């Protein structure tokens, strides 16, 4: 619930700076629940980038054709939104990077699903460091803060994008990596020629855990894994590793 207030505040500041409409996607379980939050409107402060040479060209004006609006959206406004997210460091590193070679990326509900999946796998910060895993939480899903993401992705061999439905984040990550001729592989909707996270249905933490277990096995980080289900509760599952190689 605190995130809804904080990101809503960020959305207002972003909209005022970039001239963009800003939407906040939420879950009914979060909207309808009660929670103790800090409602101080001055608790958060945001910086406006000083390097924007097009800051006078962002807002609507009296004579504004559709062609001009489209050009301003995809050039000036998009750049402004990306720069605003970067300077305010809205995206966060979850599991520390260290010498990690595999990165996990998610946003919103899927970030919570990823945290749940890692708990099913028994992967905490110490275990993640041993396995060579790091994670990155994206808050602004379009346009993503490419510079911060590329700084995090440097030296990674593989990035796994946990994203249900339409792959908005995955395509932007691939474009960003392609623009710098990076050799980092990206798994998301597909893993090579196989489906990984589908465009339809709901992404379940157990599905994510199983997918990560399979990838860690294929990458040589573990020997094998299996799903352990509770006899008393079909929803109580764990994914167990056999011996790690490292």
Which pLDDT score is estimated for 147? 95
| Alpha-carbon radius of gyration of the chain | 20
CA proximity to 243, closest of 110, 109, 130: 130
β-pairing, 194-195 vs 133-138, is unpaired
Mean pLDDT of 139-159: 95
φ, ψ for residue 152 (rounded to 5)?
-70, -40
Alpha helices (H) along the chain = 2-18, 28-31, 66-72, 78-87, 108-121, 125-131, 146-153, 168-179, 205-218
Residue 140 CB-density burial (10 A; 0-12 exposed, 13-18 middle, 19+ buried):
buried
Q: Which pLDDT belongs to residue 241?
A: 59
Q: What percent of the chain has pLDDT over 90?
A: 45
- Model pTM score: 0.85
Residue 12 confidence (pLDDT): 92
Cis peptide before 143 (omega within 30 of 0): yes
CA 4 to chain centre: 16
Which residues 6+ apart lie within 8 Å of 182 measured at CB?
Answer: 150, 153
At 230 the pLDDT is 56
Classify burial at 46, counting beta carbons within 10 Å of its beta carbon; exposed 0-12, middle 13-18, buried 19 or more: middle
Closest C-alpha to 156, from 102, 82, 192, 77:
102
The SS3 call for residue 203 is: coil
pLDDT band at 238 (very low <50, low <70, confident <90, very high): low
Q: Tell me how crowded residue 66 is: count the other CB atoms within 10 A of its CB.
A: 7
**Mean pLDDT computed over 59-87:** 87
Helix (H, G, I), strand (E, B) or coil at 227: strand
- Average pLDDT value over all residues in the chain: 86
Alpha-carbon separation of residue 233 from 203, 206, 228, 229, 240 (angstroms): 20, 14, 11, 8, 17
């Amino acid at each position: 619930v605190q995130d809804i207030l904080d990101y809503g505040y960020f959305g207002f500041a972003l909209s005022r700076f970039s001239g963009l409409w800003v939407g906040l996607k939420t879950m009914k379980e979060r909207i309808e629940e009660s929670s103790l939050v800090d409602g101080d409107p001055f608790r958060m402060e945001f910086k406006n980038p000083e390097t924007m040479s097009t800051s006078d060209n962002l807002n609507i004006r009296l004579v504004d054709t559709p062609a001009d609006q489209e050009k301003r959206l995809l050039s000036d406004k998009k750049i402004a939104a990306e720069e605003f997210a970067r300077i305010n460091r809205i995206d966060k590193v979850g599991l520390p990077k260290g010498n990690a070679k595999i990165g996990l990326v998610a946003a919103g509900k899927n970030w919570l699903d990823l945290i749940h999946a890692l708990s099913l796998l028994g992967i905490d910060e110490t275990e993640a460091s041993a396995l060579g895993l790091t994670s990155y939480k994206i808050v602004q899903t379009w346009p993503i803060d490419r510079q911060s993401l590329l700084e995090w992705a440097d030296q990674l061999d593989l990035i796994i994008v946990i994203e249900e439905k339409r792959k908005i984040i995955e395509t932007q990550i691939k474009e960003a990596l392609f623009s710098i001729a990076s050799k980092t592989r990206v798994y998301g909707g597909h893993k090579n020629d196989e489906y990984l996270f589908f465009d339809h249905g709901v992404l379940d933490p157990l599905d994510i855990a199983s997918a990560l277990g399979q990838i860690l096995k294929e990458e040589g980080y573990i020997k094998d894994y299996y799903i352990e289900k509770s006899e008393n509760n079909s929803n109580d599952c764990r994914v167990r590793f056999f011996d790690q190689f490292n």
